[in-house]
């Protein structure tokens, strides 16, 4: 169906090296990294894996955000999986921006002084991750916080001890921070321009700015691919060499980026980044914190969205077990019409969801309270994978239990990823726990019931037997943590 764009085709425009750059004549799926290295000869930013895994390509993106210092948010992301048009209206910083007047930035100097680089291939990416972290903090981070800032940066030869030493040393050196206000002002001017409809060589990229415009566009162009953080879609282009002739970008729709705590719900807009979504979920229940740190890496969480994770519907997607255990609902929109489904009903089969033609995910709604007033609750979500950071789950499990005042389980919701073609509830195990006191006998019954709930498969990541053993063991871990009374009273949960 033809669509009448009120906004004209125009170049991609973003702040780079102190000025607004206008770019045309590049494919909408050209990555920021390709543009930097091949078109701009800005080769300080390196290419390693091309799939968001190694961090050699880390750059920092600035975007308008009234809650950030001077209204400018700064975040490290992987430039190899970001398409250039997603920069429209934003600011791009690379390693070449750090040294001033021939002097290295204190972070760079500290890397030299601490012998924190050998081959140097990872070094620009590591410095950019540390720079974003440095810019965003008021006080020196702990060693653990520095490790987390580097969770997306792989160094194969130096080892992390000197890198962490350098990062700590940089905090002991007086160091000016970026003047964000003029950049924010420049981005404000860009925001006053019409929204982006960009086209090159028959490929099209739309970046609507309102929910209404998005809904109309989605309805008119149901075959166009929705693009949010591009941490899945970017790999389809880089690794599967997929052609994406038409993209509808969600990142310019502010209404999809809202986070709202009401009396009943936490509502998370579909385009809220994973970093912000996990922070909000952790405010709702500290049981989310560990998963939030184990999901991918910081740069992937800064770009990827909760809506994208849910829509992608991978059987090993990490947010869904927790969301399902917490009774999350997914809000879908098609044109002006919205509907809501329990998240568990959204998944119909392997990579098959209830999304209809012209429909998109608008938000996730997570109930503030799991049980009845006076009940106590316990929520945990754990991911088991071969590496601590940046790895894909063999199994991801989430448990939400509510107890009455005599300690009987009045509500049990257990959901697992990696055990079936979709993230799924363990209904038999839930039944085994219902009405029981949470003791060793009850947990053993629930562990046995898991065998009736799932028939996992063998694949490269894990054998079926291993997955089942892990799922059973996580139930036992839940019981052990319960023994330690590390659980919350409902009325203590505040947001």
Ligand X SMILES: Cc1cc2nc3c(=O)[nH]c(=O)nc-3n(C[C@H](O)[C@H](O)[C@H](O)COP(=O)(O)OP(=O)(O)OC[C@H]3O[C@@H](n4cnc5c(N)ncnc54)[C@H](O)[C@@H]3O)c2cc1C
Residues at the contact surface with ligand FES, assessed by CB under 6 A: 47-50, 52-57, 78, 80, 117-123, 155-158
Binding-site member from 85, 124, 287, 304 for ligand X (CB under 6 A): 304
Q: Which listed option, ligand X, ligand FES, none, makes contact with residue 232 (CB within 5 to 8 Å by class)?
A: ligand X
Our finding on whether 360 is near ligand X (CB under 6 A) is yes
Contact 291, 320 (CB under 8 A): no
Which residues, other chains included, contact 387 with Cβ-Cβ below 8 Å and sequence gap of 6+? none
Q: Which is nearer to ligand FES, 126 or 211 (CB)?
A: 126
Q: Which listed option, ligand X, ligand FES, none, makes contact with residue 275 (CB within 5 to 8 Å by class)?
A: none
Q: Which residues pair with 349 in a beta bridge?
A: 352
Which residues, other chains included, contact 403 with Cβ-Cβ below 8 Å and sequence gap of 6+? 371, 375, 376, 377, 378, 409, 410, 438
Q: Which is nearer to ligand FES, 299 or 315 (CB)?
A: 299
Q: Which is nearer to ligand FES, 33 or 400 (CB)?
A: 33
Q: Which residues pair with 77 in a beta bridge?
A: 59
Our finding on whether 418 is near ligand X (CB under 6 A) is no
Contact 116, 166 (CB under 8 A): yes
Our finding on whether 312 is near ligand X (CB under 6 A) is yes
Q: How many residues does the chain have?
A: 495
Interacting span for ligand X (CB under 6 A) from 106-114, 157-165, 230-238, 364-372:
230-238
C-alpha gyration radius of the chain: 23
Q: How far is CA 72 from CA 61, 196, 370, in A?
A: 10, 21, 36
The per-residue b/e assignment along 384-414, b for 16 or more CB within 10 angstroms, e otherwise, is bbeeebbbbbbbbbbbbbbbeeeebbbbbbb
Interacting span for ligand X (CB under 6 A) from 19-27, 87-95, 294-302, 408-416:
294-302
Q: Which is nearer to ligand X, 59 or 226 (CB)?
A: 226
Residue nearest ligand X, Cβ-based = 308
Q: Which listed option, ligand X, ligand FES, none, makes contact with residue 304 (CB within 5 to 8 Å by class)?
A: ligand X
Instruction: Provide the 8-state DSSP code for 432.
Output: H
Q: Which of residues 52-81 bind ligand X (CB under 6 A)?
A: 52-53
Our finding on whether 305 is near ligand X (CB under 6 A) is yes
Our finding on whether 296 is near ligand X (CB under 6 A) is yes
Of 363, 376, 358, 201, nearest in space to 267 by CA: 363
Our finding on whether 375 is near ligand X (CB under 6 A) is no
Nearest distance from residue 480's CB to ligand X, in Å? 25
Give the strand order in the sheet containing 246-249: 196-200, 203-207, 246-249, 225-227
Residues at the interface with ligand X (CB under 6 A): 51-53, 225-233, 235, 250, 270, 274, 295-296, 300, 304-305, 307-309, 311-312, 317-318, 360-361, 390
């Amino acid at each position: 169906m033809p669509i009448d764009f009120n906004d004209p085709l125009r170049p991609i425009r973003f702040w780079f090296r102190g000025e607004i750059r206008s770019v045309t004549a590049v494919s909408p799926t050209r990555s920021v990294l390709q543009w930097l290295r091949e078109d701009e000869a800005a080769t300080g930013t390196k290419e390693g894996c091309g799939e968001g895994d190694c961090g050699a390509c880390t750059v920092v993106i600035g975007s308008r955000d009234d809650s950030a210092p001077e209204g400018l948010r700064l975040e490290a992301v992987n430039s190899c999986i970001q398409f250039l048009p997603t920069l429209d209206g934003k600011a791009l910083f690379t390693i070449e921006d750090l040294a001033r007047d021939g002097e290295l930035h204190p972070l760079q100097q500290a890397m030299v002084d601490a012998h924190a680089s050998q081959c140097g291939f990872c070094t620009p990416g590591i410095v950019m991750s540390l720079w974003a972290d440095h810019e965003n903090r008021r006080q020196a981070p702990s060693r653990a916080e520095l490790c987390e800032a580097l969770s997306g940066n792989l160094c194969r030869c130096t080892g992390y001890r000197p890198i962490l030493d350098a990062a700590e040393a940089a905090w002991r050196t007086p160091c000016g921070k970026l003047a964000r206000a003029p950049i924010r002002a420049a981005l404000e001017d860009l925001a006053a321009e019409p929204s982006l409809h960009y086209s090159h060589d028959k490929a099209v990229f739309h970046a609507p700015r309102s929910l209404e415009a998005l809904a109309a566009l989605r309805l008119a162009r149901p075959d166009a691919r929705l693009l949010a953080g591009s941490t899945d879609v970017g790999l389809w282009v880089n690794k599967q060499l997929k052609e994406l002739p038409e993209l509808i970008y969600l990142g310019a729709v502010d209404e999809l980026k809202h986070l709202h705590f009401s009396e009943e719900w936490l509502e998370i807009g579909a385009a809220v980044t994973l970093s912000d979504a996990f922070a909000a979920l952790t405010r709702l229940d500290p049981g989310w914190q560990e998963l939030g740190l184990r999901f991918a890496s910081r740069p992937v969480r800064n770009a990827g969205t909760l809506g994208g994770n849910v829509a992608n519907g991978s059987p090993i997607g990490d947010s869904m077990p927790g969301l399902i255990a917490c009774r999350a609902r997914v809000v879908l929109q098609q044109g002006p019409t919205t509907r809501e489904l329990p998240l568990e009903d959204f998944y119909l089969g392997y990579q098959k969801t209830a999304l209809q033609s012209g429909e998109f995910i608008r938000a996730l709604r997570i109930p503030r309270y799991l049980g009845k007033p006076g009940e106590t609750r316990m929520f945990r979500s754990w991911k088991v994978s071969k590496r601590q950071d940046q790895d894909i789950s063999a199994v991801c499990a989430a448990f939400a239990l509510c107890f009455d005042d005599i300690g009987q389980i009045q509500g049990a919701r257990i959901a697992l990823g990696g055990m079936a073609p979709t993230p799924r509830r363990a209904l038999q195990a839930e039944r085994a726990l219902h009405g029981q006191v949470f003791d060793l006998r009850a947990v053993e019954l629930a562990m046995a019931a898991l065998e009736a709930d799932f028939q996992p498969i063998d694949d490269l990541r894990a054998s079926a037997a291993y997955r089942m053993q892990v799922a059973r063991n996580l139930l036992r871990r839940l019981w052990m943590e319960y023994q330690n009374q590390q659980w919350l009273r409902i009325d203590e949960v505040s947001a």
